[in-house]
Amino acid sequence: MAKELAALLMVILTLVCASSIHSVPDEEFFTECENIVQRWANSSLDVEVKDKHTLLDLLFFLHIPRTGGRAYNFCFLNKLYTSYLECPSSYDKLHFDPSIPLNRWLQVVHDDYSITSKLPMERRTSVMTILRNPVDHFCNSKYIGHIWPWKYLVPWMREDLFARRDRRNHGNFQEDKETNNAYDMKDIVIPLEEFIHSVVAYDIIHNGATFQIAGVTNNSYLEAPEVRNCAMSYQSLGKYVLEVAKKRLDNMLYVGLTEQHKESATIFADVVGKQVFLQLQALRSSFILLQIIPVAVFSFNIFLELLKAYDECSSTSRKIEARRRTSTLKRISLNFSKEARLQVPEAVLQTIISLNSLDMELYKHAQHIFEQQKYRLLQERVQVEMHKDDSFKTDSHESAPL
């Protein structure tokens, strides 16, 4: 115990030193930190998932902000699970009581992976997530949004906007040239380049997806904050966090990609949607209470029905979202368009890429998993077709019905 306390103290000291000096890390502190992170990584990597393709009792949707996950939530999962079966969306803290048996079919959260350790059915939980190209992801984080990480980002942004407005009102202009690039209007909003290097960006945005999936964000339930502190203090320890995040992705039931919107939806309907449907049907037949819940909407061809419903719902919700965003940005007279994005200097993009190197790697890994999911689905379809052929032959050539 005393030894652990000493180690913790050392970490705290390291942090204080690291943040005030920023010099070459002290060998001893580094070794201590590396041990802490390695021990955590080793125990996280140890977990074996037997059949990751089978939906278990609880579906946990690890929602990474601004990846389009909201549409999955509202348009897929809400349609599949009725409110009886859905856990109250745990947008900030664990709001649901997992011990109530019916309350265990869906979890939609902005928390990080560490919350799974708080679930009584940790080992009976399937996890899914959606990832997005880190550069797009970063540029999008400047948009306005009350939940982690927005609950930190929004007030911070608001304060910054007001400070800049006050300066303008006092006639303090920093710029002499006219610019209409919303990513670079110092007088109105923090320029992208400055934002990248802000404390907030380091705390919650850079490599955010990796930290969220590894379960070591600053919103973490992990009882070992020193893991995060060490990983944040020494860049070279990031590789351990990345390994854990990759392994977690490997073990997930489903991984979607924001950029491959249509294909992701198709795979989701096939891999997750069908299994949820079957699970609910089985559940209905065993619980009288549940038979009052309408489920018949998706009875004929669950797969096509689900996709069609999703298409309609998600395009509506995208329109609403876009309208809301435009009006917010109009109020502060900004326009973060694709054209403006093209004006962001290459050097700034490169900085974003290097500050998000873990997320870049993780995204590559997710792309790889996505290809595997596609391949698996294709294989299954081929098998179904072959099976159909077989049964056709059997039917036509053998005339002895049972």
Ligand X SMILES: *[C@@H]1O[C@H](CO)[C@@H](O)[C@H](O)[C@H]1NC(C)=O
Q: Which is nearer to ligand X, 44 or 266 (CB)?
A: 44
Q: Which is nearer to ligand X, 122 or 159 (CB)?
A: 159
Span from 119-127, 331-339, 376-384, 394-402 in contact with ligand X (CB under 6 A): 331-339
* SS (HEC) of the chain: CHHHHHHHHHHHHHHHHHHHHCCCCCHHHHHHHHHHHHHHHHHHHCCCCCCCCCCCCEEEEECCCCCCHHHHHHHHHHHHCCCCCECCCECCCCCCCCCCCCCCCEEEECCCHHHHHHCCCHHHEEEEEEECCHHHHHHHCCCCCCCCCHHHHHHHHHHHHHHHHHHHHCCCCCCCCCCCCHHHCCCCCCCHHHHHCCHHHHHHHCCHHHHHHHCCCCCCCCCCHHHHHHHHHCHHHHHHHHHHHHHHHHCCCEEEEHHHHHHHHHHHHHHHHHHHHHHHHHHHHHCHHHHHCCCHHHCCCHHHHHHHHHHHHHHHHHHHHHHHHHHHHHHCCCCCCHHHHHCCCHHHHHHHHHHCHHHHHHHHHHHHHHHHHHHHHHHHHHHHHHHHHHHHHHHHHCCCCC
Q: CB 197 → ligand X: shortest distance, Å?
A: 13
385 near ligand X (CB under 6 A): no
Site string for ligand X, 193-232 (x = CB under 6 A): ------xx--xx-------------x--------------
User: Is 95 near ligand X (CB under 6 A)?
Assistant: no
339 to 358: interface string for ligand X, x by CB under 6 A = x-------------------
Nearer to ligand X, 59 or 227 (CB): 227
Our finding on whether 143 is near ligand X (CB under 6 A) is no
Q: Say how many residues touch ligand X, by CB under 6 A.
A: 15
Given the rule CB under 6 A, which of 36-44, 264-272, 288-296, 370-378 is the region that contacts ligand X?
36-44
Residue 37 or 77 with smaller CB distance to ligand X: 37
Binding mask 153-182 for ligand X (x = CB under 6 A): ------------------------------
Q: Site residues (CB under 6 A) for ligand X?
A: 35, 38-39, 42, 152, 199-200, 203-204, 218, 326, 330, 335, 337, 339
